[in-house]
Amino acid sequence: MSANYPFLMDVSLGLIYVFLGGGIGSVLRFSIERWTGKAFPSSFPYSTLTVNLIGSFFIGVLFVCLDRLSLPSQYRLFIGTGLLGGFTTFSTFSLENALLIRNASYQAAVVNIATSILLGLSFVILGIYFASLVIKK
Protein backbone atom coordinates (compact mmCIF):
# COMPACT_ATOMS: atom_id res chain seq x y z
CA MET A 1 0.00 0.00 0.00
CA SER A 2 2.81 2.45 0.77
CA ALA A 3 4.22 1.94 -2.75
CA ASN A 4 0.99 3.34 -4.21
CA TYR A 5 0.60 6.04 -1.57
CA PRO A 6 4.08 7.25 -0.48
CA PHE A 7 2.57 10.28 1.28
CA LEU A 8 0.93 7.89 3.76
CA MET A 9 4.36 6.58 4.72
CA ASP A 10 5.62 10.16 5.20
CA VAL A 11 2.63 11.04 7.39
CA SER A 12 3.01 7.84 9.41
CA LEU A 13 6.72 8.46 10.03
CA GLY A 14 6.00 12.09 10.89
CA LEU A 15 3.44 11.01 13.46
CA ILE A 16 5.94 8.59 14.99
CA TYR A 17 8.59 11.34 15.30
CA VAL A 18 6.10 13.73 16.91
CA PHE A 19 4.76 10.98 19.20
CA LEU A 20 8.22 9.95 20.43
CA GLY A 21 9.42 13.53 20.88
CA GLY A 22 6.20 14.50 22.64
CA GLY A 23 6.52 11.60 25.05
CA ILE A 24 10.08 12.52 25.94
CA GLY A 25 9.19 16.22 26.26
CA SER A 26 6.24 15.44 28.52
CA VAL A 27 8.39 13.27 30.81
CA LEU A 28 11.04 16.00 30.97
CA ARG A 29 8.37 18.58 31.80
CA PHE A 30 6.93 16.36 34.53
CA SER A 31 10.41 15.88 36.01
CA ILE A 32 11.18 19.60 36.02
CA GLU A 33 7.77 20.43 37.49
CA ARG A 34 8.38 17.97 40.33
CA TRP A 35 11.84 19.39 40.98
CA THR A 36 10.80 23.06 40.89
CA GLY A 37 7.77 22.31 43.05
CA LYS A 38 10.06 20.93 45.74
CA ALA A 39 12.86 23.47 45.27
CA PHE A 40 10.56 26.52 45.16
CA PRO A 41 7.33 25.76 47.03
CA SER A 42 5.05 28.66 46.19
CA SER A 43 1.70 29.53 44.68
CA PHE A 44 3.64 31.28 41.89
CA PRO A 45 3.87 28.99 38.82
CA TYR A 46 7.67 28.65 38.74
CA SER A 47 7.55 25.24 37.06
CA THR A 48 5.62 26.46 34.01
CA LEU A 49 7.83 29.52 33.75
CA THR A 50 10.93 27.30 33.94
CA VAL A 51 9.86 24.85 31.22
CA ASN A 52 8.66 27.64 28.95
CA LEU A 53 11.97 29.53 29.26
CA ILE A 54 14.02 26.38 28.63
CA GLY A 55 11.77 25.55 25.67
CA SER A 56 12.11 29.10 24.33
CA PHE A 57 15.90 28.84 24.44
CA PHE A 58 15.94 25.50 22.64
CA ILE A 59 13.46 26.55 19.96
CA GLY A 60 15.95 29.33 19.16
CA VAL A 61 18.77 26.79 18.99
CA LEU A 62 16.65 24.52 16.76
CA PHE A 63 15.86 27.44 14.45
CA VAL A 64 19.57 28.08 13.86
CA CYS A 65 20.33 24.37 13.46
CA LEU A 66 17.63 23.97 10.83
CA ASP A 67 18.73 27.15 9.07
CA ARG A 68 22.47 26.43 8.98
CA LEU A 69 22.74 22.67 8.95
CA SER A 70 21.28 20.38 6.36
CA LEU A 71 19.09 18.55 8.82
CA PRO A 72 16.20 16.41 7.63
CA SER A 73 12.67 17.57 8.43
CA GLN A 74 12.40 14.73 10.95
CA TYR A 75 14.50 16.81 13.36
CA ARG A 76 11.94 19.62 13.28
CA LEU A 77 9.13 17.14 13.84
CA PHE A 78 10.90 15.23 16.62
CA ILE A 79 12.46 18.18 18.48
CA GLY A 80 10.25 21.16 17.61
CA THR A 81 6.74 19.78 17.30
CA GLY A 82 7.23 16.72 19.51
CA LEU A 83 9.80 17.26 22.26
CA LEU A 84 9.42 21.02 22.72
CA GLY A 85 5.67 20.84 22.08
CA GLY A 86 5.30 18.23 24.82
CA PHE A 87 7.73 20.07 27.07
CA THR A 88 6.26 23.57 27.00
CA THR A 89 2.66 24.56 27.32
CA PHE A 90 0.66 27.68 26.69
CA SER A 91 -2.59 26.23 28.00
CA THR A 92 -1.14 25.63 31.47
CA PHE A 93 0.33 29.14 31.45
CA SER A 94 -3.11 30.55 30.58
CA LEU A 95 -4.92 28.49 33.22
CA GLU A 96 -2.46 29.40 35.96
CA ASN A 97 -2.86 33.10 35.19
CA ALA A 98 -6.65 32.80 35.09
CA LEU A 99 -6.52 31.14 38.52
CA LEU A 100 -4.23 33.85 39.89
CA ILE A 101 -6.69 36.48 38.65
CA ARG A 102 -9.67 34.57 40.03
CA ASN A 103 -7.94 34.43 43.41
CA ALA A 104 -7.29 38.19 43.26
CA SER A 105 -3.52 37.65 42.95
CA TYR A 106 -3.36 40.34 40.32
CA GLN A 107 0.24 41.33 40.96
CA ALA A 108 1.44 37.72 40.65
CA ALA A 109 -0.55 37.33 37.41
CA VAL A 110 0.94 40.48 35.88
CA VAL A 111 4.46 39.47 36.98
CA ASN A 112 4.01 35.97 35.55
CA ILE A 113 2.60 37.18 32.23
CA ALA A 114 5.22 39.91 31.77
CA THR A 115 8.08 37.68 32.91
CA SER A 116 7.02 34.80 30.69
CA ILE A 117 6.64 36.94 27.60
CA LEU A 118 9.73 39.13 28.05
CA LEU A 119 12.04 36.37 29.27
CA GLY A 120 10.58 33.87 26.79
CA LEU A 121 11.41 36.20 23.91
CA SER A 122 14.83 36.88 25.44
CA PHE A 123 15.54 33.16 25.73
CA VAL A 124 14.63 32.58 22.07
CA ILE A 125 17.05 35.37 21.13
CA LEU A 126 19.73 33.87 23.41
CA GLY A 127 19.22 30.45 21.86
CA ILE A 128 19.60 31.91 18.37
CA TYR A 129 22.67 33.90 19.43
CA PHE A 130 24.52 31.03 21.14
CA ALA A 131 23.70 28.53 18.42
CA SER A 132 24.86 31.08 15.81
CA LEU A 133 28.23 31.31 17.59
CA VAL A 134 28.68 27.55 17.51
CA ILE A 135 27.11 26.68 14.16
CA LYS A 136 28.52 28.56 11.20
CA LYS A 137 27.07 28.52 7.67
CA–CA dist 113, 95 (Å, integer)? 12
Q: Cβ contacts of residue 61 below 8 Å, gap of 6+?
A: 127, 128, 130, 131
Tens of each residue's pLDDT in the chain, 137 residues = 455 666 656 778 899 999 999 999 999 999 999 999 999 999 899 999 999 999 999 999 998 998 899 888 888 899 989 999 999 978 788 989 999 999 999 999 999 999 999 999 999 999 999 999 999 87
CB 56, CB 117: distance < 8 Å: no
88 carries a ligand binding annotation: yes
Q: Count CB-CB contacts under 10 A for residue 108.
A: 18
AA letter at 29: R
Global confidence as pTM: 0.77
Identify the sign of the CA torsion 9, 15, 17, 20.
Answer: negative
